[in-house]
Amino acid sequence: MKIALSLFTTLSVIVGAMLFMQYQVYSEQETPTNKEFSYSQEIEITYREGSLDIRHHFKNLPNDALEIVWPESAVDRNCFLEKEYSCARLNDNKTKFESGENRSQSISYIIPLEGGLTSEKLMNNIYVSLKNGRVKFSTVHISTDSSVAGQWVTGLPLIDQQSLALVNYSMFSGTGQVRDLYWQESGLSLQKKMDTLSIYANTNVSKELSQTVNKLAEFGDEHIAVVQRNNEEVQEGYRMLFLPELTTATLQKEVLMAQVESLYTFVDSPLWLKHVVAMYVSGETFGTPRALAVVDTLMNEMTEEQLADWISRIENLKGKTVSPTILDEELSAVFDVHTEYLSMNVDAEETYPFMFNDKRDVYVNGVLTEEIDIILHEGKVLYTADALLHDIGYTTSLGSNGYYVNSETRVFRFPNVEHDFYVFNQRRYNTKTSPLSIIASTYYIEELWLQRLFLVELQKDDQSIRITTTAQ
């Protein structure tokens, strides 16, 4: 009995130790949260001996484990023991903040600057961030030796800057994230400051330009710093816009686009589509030829009530993902009929006119196909010619004398431009309307002519369109 009891005790100790070790391993491998969260931050930067010494304070953190995303160039990554519990949640390898009750944590690191502090050079992505975290508010302090004189820009509003006996000091603070840092040795200074827009320039801002800035400031939510910079090297900074000249036209276009980029998360969206959104948000007219053509087309198609609804829907997309498909969904809701007008224009060589799309499933001889588009344009129901004709047994080709459609027994030729005739088996037939339409370099066949010339039957219901060939 004693032996059995001793053995049981020994086994219990071993099992307990193993469970404790497993718990320790689990604790060390605690998975950081995948949930989105928000926090605030305060960043202290001191420039000395060719590097940026940074102390980064995170505030209002959630209690979950959080993954730390370090800049690639960061060295001497460490805890900054500002208070007793400033690093209580920082793990040993400095890769995450463990779950815990301390909502404020501090770290320090150094960003080496190759060649030292260089005037007019943008320092990109120099700050630590937290994975899945959204910064609600940022404050940045910058200190340098008094011999290092110049203008700092962060993208945040400039709150204060002082030149003292031993140190130069700048402070920036405002809503949102900060990622980059810019310094210019001389000539640049803050000329215009508003809640959402600041102008750093070599000379005073004119009255006319100031009025433009006042108007532009109404459209943004996050602050943008506009920097006059004559250096021809292209630079793009987060919440920083570099312009060689400060003119009304340049500011109007570039600032509006920067603001729109900050208001919406564009996905798979070409520049012209961003211009379209910007024009509706601002009420200003500018952009690429395609953007101008699209806006002009939509304006002609919409009533005043539909236009107001469309603008309201674009406004409601602020802070959300925007793509051609998403905008088409909103456009379809405005007209109460499905359209893929914007999506169709994304990859088209020529601009498509406005049209509606029939989204019912299409079956050809019982087989579901996704290659055939059906559009409603100028009172006609049109089918993409190539895809449909191939499915019913014809070949198609484009020649100098027109568009050719052939089978073993039937040969058609249609003019390259819309004409009131076609040729069938070497015989010309005159028509009152053209069987084919050419839209943005794509050939479409009109529904009635499809049935008449190519001997097909159509069956339609609310969900599908069925195309069946008859004897030829």
The full 3-state SS of 279-308, as one line of letters, equals: HHHHCCCCCCHHHHHHHHHHHHHCCHHHHH
The rounded distance, in Å, linking the Cα atoms of 162 and 168 is 6
SS3 assignment, position 166 = coil
Q: 276 pLDDT band (50/70/90 cuts)?
A: very high
Q: 205 pLDDT band (50/70/90 cuts)?
A: confident
pLDDT of residue 109: 97
Please enumerate in sequence order all residues whose Cβ is within 8 A of that of 251, keeping only pairs 6 or more positions apart, or say none: 209, 212, 213, 216, 226, 243
Going by C-alpha positions, the residue among 126, 96, 107 that lies closest to residue 59 is 107
Percent of the chain with pLDDT over 70: 93
Rg of the chain over CA atoms, in angstroms? 32
Given a contact cutoff of 8 angstroms between Cβ atoms, the answer to whether 252 and 216 are in contact is yes
Given a contact cutoff of 8 angstroms between Cβ atoms, the answer to whether 307 and 313 are in contact is no
Q: What integer is the mean pLDDT of 330-358?
A: 92
How far is residue 403 CA from its own chain's centroid?
40
Locate tokens 């059906």: which residue? 374
Given a contact cutoff of 8 angstroms between Cβ atoms, the answer to whether 165 and 111 are in contact is no
pLDDT of residue 30: 67
What's the residue count for the chain? 472
Q: Any idea which of 50-64, 127-141, 413-427 has the lowest mean pLDDT?
A: 413-427
Given a contact cutoff of 8 angstroms between Cβ atoms, the answer to whether 472 and 410 are in contact is yes
Locate tokens 């309201």: which residue? 312
Q: 11 pLDDT band (50/70/90 cuts)?
A: very low
The rounded distance, in Å, linking the Cα atoms of 200 and 219 is 19
pLDDT of residue 25: 44
Q: Any idea which of 48-62, 90-104, 178-192, 410-424 has the lowest mean pLDDT?
A: 410-424
Q: 201 pLDDT band (50/70/90 cuts)?
A: very high
Percent of the chain with pLDDT over 90: 66
pLDDT of residue 20: 44
Q: What integer is the mean pLDDT of 224-247?
A: 85
Plot region of 126 (φ>0 → left; ψ -120 to 50 → alpha; else → beta): alpha
Going by C-alpha positions, the residue among 41, 42, 43, 36 that lies closest to residue 67 is 36
* Max Cα-Cα span within the chain: 112
Phi and psi for 245 in degrees, rounded to 5? -130, 140
Q: What integer is the mean pLDDT of 171-185?
A: 94
What does CATH list as the number for 356-469?
3.30.457.10
Locate tokens 């108007």: which residue? 215
pLDDT of residue 2: 43
SS3 assignment, position 62 = coil
Count CB neighbours of 180 within 10 A.
19
Given a contact cutoff of 8 angstroms between Cβ atoms, the answer to whether 140 and 177 are in contact is no
Mean pLDDT of the chain: 89
Buried-state track 186-198, b at ≥16 Cβ within 10 A, e below 16: eebeebbebebbb
Going by C-alpha positions, the residue among 195, 196, 56, 66 that lies closest to residue 139 is 56
Task: Count CA within 13 A, CB hemisphere, residue 40.
Answer: 12
**Beta bridge partners of residue 398, listed in sequence order:** 403
pLDDT of residue 322: 96
Q: What pLDDT, in 10s, does the model give residues 298-307? A: 999 999 999 9
Per-residue pLDDT for 22 more than 70?
no
Q: Tell the CATH topology of 30-185.
A: Immunoglobulin-like (2.60.40)
- Return the structure tokens found at 206: 């004119």
The rounded distance, in Å, linking the Cα atoms of 433 and 265 is 45
pTM greater than the 0.95 cutoff: no
Going by C-alpha positions, the residue among 321, 327, 320 that lies closest to residue 344 is 327
Question: Treating both helix axes as pointing N-terminal to C-terminal, what angle do 324-335 and 304-316 enclose, rounded to 10 degrees?
Answer: 150
Per-residue pLDDT for 23 more than 60?
no
The rounded distance, in Å, linking the Cα atoms of 201 and 191 is 6
The rounded distance, in Å, linking the Cα atoms of 88 and 79 is 9
What's the N-to-C CA distance of the chain in angstroms? Answer: 98
Count CB neighbours of 152 within 10 A.
22
Please enumerate in sequence order all residues whose Cβ is within 8 A of that of 182, keeping only pairs 6 or more positions apart, or say none: 120, 121, 122, 123, 152, 153, 154, 227, 237, 240
Helix-, strand-, coil-residue percentages of the chain, each rounded to 5: 25, 35, 40
The rounded distance, in Å, linking the Cα atoms of 199 and 213 is 9
Per-residue pLDDT for 69 more than 50?
yes
SS3 assignment, position 389 = helix
Angle at 133 between CA 237 and CA 54, to 5 degrees: 60
pLDDT of residue 227: 93
